[in-house]
Amino acid sequence: MSRVELVVFDLDGTLIDSAQDLATAVNAALARLAPHAPAVPLERVRTFIGDGAGMLVARTLAAAGVDLPPDDALPVFLECYTERLLDTTVLYPGVLEALDALRDRMLAVLTNKPGEMSRRILGGLGVAGRFAPIWGAGDVPAKKPDPAGLQLLLKQSGVGPEAAALVGDSGIDVRTGRAAGVRTIGVSYGLDPASLERIPPDDLIGDLRELPALLAAPRPPA
């Protein structure tokens, strides 16, 4: 049995609770683009997060009934979001403790959020130095669930898929890990727990503080 040497984390819904800032930003963009359109409630916006900024914008426009090309609205959203990246965004409970306990392993972030924004957020939260690298949209050949970014991480780290794990809050992360032959670990507290029921990960935890012990425990043969 291979020891897990590389732990790759999703960002939104896994390490950070960013839903409020994303909802505020996408509604601010909506107000600029279509002043008479209704704001989209936070709980609805939460279900739009995970596939990247473009899909977040497209889903919000559809939910508000605004007939506007998402590509035209995307720059406005990115501007609005850049202004409020860390207004309310925080690390989930247990993240710091888990990262401390995993100091003897390589840690990385792979997200569909734009890479530069991801690095700014983790830097602002004081944990960017825990990860090498932090990759998002624009840094890798394709967004998750395409495994290209994860495969590039494996290659750069010199780690085989049997010695890596991908931790995330959605079926997108599970599909990404499976496509790369990597162990998948879901977190039930994130943005899309229902998708983990449809596409179950290899392991499921309710608190990131459970992760170190899970990785240390022997796994039954496949």
DSSP labels, 75-112: HHHHHHHHTTTTSS-EEPTTHHHHHHHTTTSEEEEEEE
Rama region for 102: left / alpha / beta (φ>0; ψ in -120 to 50; rest): alpha
Catalytic residue among 10, 12, 21, 192: 10
Q: Which residue in 176, 93, 97 sits closest to 130, CA to CA? A: 97
DSSP labels, 12-72: BTTTEE-HHHHHHHHHHHHHHH-TTSPPPPHHHHHTTTTS-HHHHHHHHHHHHT----HHH
Task: Answer for the pair 168, 193: CB distance below 8 angstroms, yes or no.
Answer: no
17 is catalytic: no
Enzyme catalytic residues? 10
